Chain A
């Protein structure tokens, strides 16, 4: 096992980005399920689930957006450090 500090910044950055992307992918799958479930119940005439579904979907989008900002920051940090080298 190599020490994380010994690894080059590009490799560390890629690991962080891959982790963030995996989280985004999981959240996206949950959002897709949520949308299909909300649509299903809306078409079945049950309108009570639309509000909680929209709130949870919004929260998940905000988390995805936060992870995207994180990826963007890691990306620019690694890019800058690799340019300096």
Chain B
């Protein structure tokens, strides 16, 4: 690691407190350059970490969970549930007679809880006025950078079952 060592044979304190005023400017610039290059290395390592996580990514498995019964929610109504774990709050909306949609309740901006507004037929985040489409969870307005994660639902007889989470 020769390149990390100082080029001068003088100790660092002697360079930093040099009797030559001109040398001081060099020391601070050289050290700042070293700091910037080490930060650049840090950025590269961060990108490598993301790459490794991407390469070894395994799709999660979800439990199948009954979240409601058909007819339990009126058309235009909503019900809150948790899926896949107890900490993951979600919202189920009945958009038509035989149509239900489920989304994560966490706003993709700063994780405030979104709610369903039947008047405007959209999911709204009260914190920063981020609005999501109830049809596909896409961002209609506001600061959220991504659509809401969608809960994949299945109708099994009389029951509405959550089977997976789709992040788009």
Contacts and interface: CB of A to CB of B under 8 A. Distances in A.
Q: Mostly helix, strand, loop or mixed at chain B's interface?
A: helix
Contact of B43 (A45, A57, A67, A78): A57
A82 B22 contact: yes
Interface in A32-74: 32, 34-35, 38-40, 42, 44-45, 47, 50-51, 53-54, 57-58, 60-61, 64-65, 67-69, 71-72
A74 B20 CA distance: 18
B128 interface: no
A38 to B, nearest CB: 5
B73 interface: no
A79 B10 CA distance: 12
Nearest to B146: A44
Interface of B: 3, 7-8, 20, 22-23, 25-26, 29-30, 32-34, 36-37, 39-41, 43-44, 46-48, 50-51, 53-55, 57, 145-146, 167-168
Interface of A: 10, 13-14, 17-18, 20-21, 24-25, 27-28, 31-32, 34-35, 38-40, 42, 44-45, 47, 50-51, 53-54, 57-58, 60-61, 64-65, 67-69, 71-72, 75-76, 78-79, 82
